[in-house]
Amino acid sequence: MKSPPPLAHLDDIVSSGMCIGCGLCESLAGTDHVRMRMTPEGRLRPQTLQQLSEATLGAIDRTCPGSVASGLPAELHSPDVVVDDVWGPYHDVVRAYAADSDIRFRGSTGGVLTALALHLLESGSVAFIAHVSADPAQPMRSVAHVSESRGDVLAAAGSRYGPAAPLTHISSLLDRGQPFAFVGKPCDVTALRNLATVDGRVDRFCRYMLTLVCGGASELGKSTDVLDSLGIAEEELSVFRYRGYGNPGKTRIETRDGRAEELAYNDMWADENTWRIQYRCKVCPDAIGEAADLAASDLWPGGGPTGEDAGFNGVITRTGAGSRLLAEAAAAGALTVDQQLTPRSLDEAQPHQVRKKRAVASRLDALRDAGRRVPQVTGLRIRTLAETRSERERAEEYAATASRIADGQFWEPSS
Ligand SMILES: Cc1cc2nc3c(=O)[nH]c(=O)nc-3n(C[C@H](O)[C@H](O)[C@H](O)COP(=O)(O)OP(=O)(O)OC[C@H]3O[C@@H](n4cnc5c(N)ncnc54)[C@H](O)[C@@H]3O)c2cc1C
Ligand code: SF4
Ligand code: SF4
């Protein structure tokens, strides 16, 4: 497969639709050169303020998840790891939830990621957690968030389905020279693993990379549409919670003057045409967090909720560190692990992930053949999985993407 030419301008990634807005390039280039901005289309994208040196562009090209996606580094594959074609490397696949009922309730699903973050912080294993939370000043938006206390971690519980850039300040976090854990989307973890190939501090200080299984991140317009339908202006907001406070919990909107509105999860996400999922997500070669130490998912039979429940996460550990963390957190009473699962039970709960993993190679081929810049994908078995589909299915997938490209999709204006 032909490698794309060296990156000449940061906008080449953005205009190909391969930027997910993780913020790593801002951190690598410095805020005097690159700033993440919300575009008029509701995407967080890097804006180049001053020309970048060849060295900086080279570093971004090697680390941006829009340029490289390689799954779990070979040196982190323990001898006893099993690799499932769909679900990737794993040690444990279990059902679990936060043992503390308040965390379980507040968390997006069963509060596993919040419980693990708290366990790591309170046991002294790490000095802080790097993740994201709602922006206190603009609660419909999300900001990079550093947690050093229980209150900080709890404030970041819950899924943020809009744009979020957790890596904007990763260089300054590494400058602290303290052990930390990172929680982010699979593409954010990909970026951090890529960064480890050019900055040795990542492996020294980032002790755990935790992730969520991810169906895609919406543009901010998805949230704005909800506000518009309720006749509420963004400036009036005091709370914008996508889910959590139950599983899945309701989307809850509160205004500074005391109004409150709620939308059921199935109403919020009923029509896929309104999701406004970003282009990078449609060709995501790793939405299941293969590069992380541990990934947490929803666990609804068939892939969607039929009502509220108490909150159960699927948990996949992928490295020795992830497997030990799961066991230690359970032994310490932070997590309840109540069922062994298998990759095939995850297929049942995540049929959309199985479909996507099989479709991605054909979609990327169509983009590449149309001259678009696409990530270099290795170690994620997307070719093997494409081969499990018939030639006709692959051709149809390719043609559907080619037709979307012809319709003007998979292209973004330069920022
Ligand atoms: C955009 C998005 C799409 C998702 N799609 C699916 C899906 O298709 N299938 C599925 O099984 N699960 C999906 N989830 C994951 C699911 O919503 C839960 O996050 C997951 O089950 C973990 O639940 P939890 O209760 O352990 O999380 P919590 O304990 O609530 O912790 C969530 C953690 O994730 C971090 N976080 C939240 N939003 C973001 C974000 N946008 N970027 C970076 N970090 C973030 C928070 O800072 C927090 O640390 C998605 C989540 C997101 C954010
Ligand atoms: S995906 Fe991240 S590193 Fe790549 S261009 Fe976008 S913000 Fe920058
Ligand atoms: S689908 Fe992939 S690219 Fe999109 S937000 Fe999720 S992990 Fe990132």
Cα–Cα nearest to 287, from 400, 190, 149, 162: 190
For atom 47 of ligand 1, the residue with the nearest CA is: 132
Q: Which pLDDT does position 4 carry in this prediction?
A: 78
Q: In terms of pLDDT, which residue wins out, 195 or 1?
A: 195
For the residues 24-35, what does the mean pLDDT come to? 98
Note the pLDDT of residue 1: 61
Q: Which two tokens stand for residue 351?
A: 């049929």
Amino acid (one-letter) located at 5: P
Alpha carbon dihedral 375, 376, 379, 383, in 10-degree steps, equals 80
Per-residue pLDDT at 49 exceeds 90:
yes
Please state the rounded mean pLDDT for residues 18-31: 98
Amino acid occupying residue 96: A
In a domain, 321, yes or no: yes
Q: How far apart are the first and last CA of the chain?
A: 29
**Ligand 1 pocket residue status of 287, Cβ below 6 Å:** no
Q: CA triplet 278, 283, 288: central angle to 5 degrees?
A: 95
pLDDT for residue 25: 98
| Average pLDDT of every residue of the chain | 97
Residues 6+ positions from 57 with CB-CB distance below 8 Å: 6, 7, 8, 9, 10
pLDDT at 6: 87
The contacts of residue 358 (CB under 8 Å, 6+ apart) are 385, 386, 388, 389
Region of 398 please: left (phi>0), alpha (psi -120 to 50) or beta.
alpha
pLDDT of residue 128: 98
Overall domain count for the chain: 1
Q: Is 47 domain-assigned? A: no
Q: What is the pLDDT of residue 2?
A: 66
Q: Looking at residue 270, what is its pLDDT?
A: 83
Place of tokens 């078995």: 381
| Predicted confidence (pLDDT) per residue in 157-212, tens digit | 999 999 999 999 999 999 999 999 999 999 999 999 999 999 999 999 999 999 99
C-alpha to C-alpha distance for 180 and 32, rounded to whole angstroms? 26
**Is the minimum distance from the CB of 295 to ligand 3 under 6 angstroms?**
no
**Could you report the per-residue pLDDT of 76-118, keeping only the tens digit for each?**
999 999 999 999 999 999 999 999 999 999 999 999 999 999 9
pLDDT band at residue 324 under the 50/70/90 scheme: very high
Burial letters for 358-378: b for 16+ Cβ neighbours within 10 Å, e otherwise? bbbbbbbbbbeeeebbbbebe
Considering every ligand atom, which ligand is closest to the CA of 96?
Answer: 1
Residue 268 scores a pLDDT above 70: yes
Q: Pairing state of beta strands 128-134 and 180-184?
A: parallel
Question: Residue 410's pLDDT band (boundaries 50, 70, 90)?
Answer: very high
Instruction: Establish if 333 belongs to a structural domain.
Output: yes
Q: What is the pLDDT of residues 363-383, one digit of tens each?
A: 999 999 999 999 999 999 999
For residues 242-270, average pLDDT: 95
- Both tokens assigned to 239: 């709370």
Nearest residue (CA) to ligand 1, atom 36:
159
CB-ligand 2 contact for 183 (6 Å cutoff): no
Q: Are strands 335-340 and 92-98 parallel, antiparallel or unpaired?
A: antiparallel
Distance CA 51, CA 162 (A): 29
Residue 241 has pLDDT above 70, yes or no: yes
Sole residue written with tokens 């444990």: 92
pLDDT in tens, 122-153: 999 999 999 999 999 999 999 999 999 999 99
Nearest ligand 1 atom to alpha carbon 244: 30
Rg of the chain over all Cα atoms, to the nearest angstrom: 20
How much is the pLDDT for 101? 98
* Residue 186, ligand 3, Cβ within 6 A: yes
Whose structure tokens read 């559907």?
400
Question: How much is the average pLDDT of 277-301?
Answer: 97
Q: How far apart are CA 188 and CA 169, in angstroms?
A: 13
**For range 340-347, the mean pLDDT:** 98
Q: Which residues contact 165 (CB under 8 A, 6 or more apart)?
A: 21, 22, 23, 26, 36, 44, 132, 142, 144
CA separation (Å) from 330 to 93, 96, 119, 335? Answer: 14, 9, 10, 5
Instruction: Check: CB of residue 141 under 8 Å from CB of residue 135.
Output: yes
Q: Nearest Cα to 77, choosing from 205, 211, 193, 206?
A: 193
Q: 351 pLDDT band (50/70/90 cuts)? A: very high
> Ligand 1 mean position to 260 CA, how many Å?
24
Higher pLDDT, 22 or 274: 22
Contact by Cβ (8 Å): 310, 104: yes
25: CA distance to ligand 2 center in Å? 6
In a 10 Å sphere around its CB, with 0-12 CB exposed, 13-18 middle and 19+ buried, how is residue 46 labelled?
A: buried
With a 6 Å cutoff on the Cβ, whether 20 touches ligand 3 is yes
- pLDDT number for residue 334: 98
The residue whose CA has the least distance to atom 2 of ligand 2 is: 22
63 lines ligand 1 (CB under 6 A): no
Residue 216 in contact with ligand 3 by CB distance below 6 A: yes
Number of H helices, E strands in the chain: 17, 17
CA dihedral 134, 136, 138, 143 (to 10 degrees): -50
The percent of residues above 90 in pLDDT, for the chain, comes to: 96
Residue 399 domain-assigned (yes or no): no
Average pLDDT rounded to a whole number, residues 291-300: 98
Q: Confirm whether 212 is domain-assigned.
A: yes
Residue 115 lies in domain: 74-218+275-352
Residue 273: pLDDT band (50, 70, 90) is confident
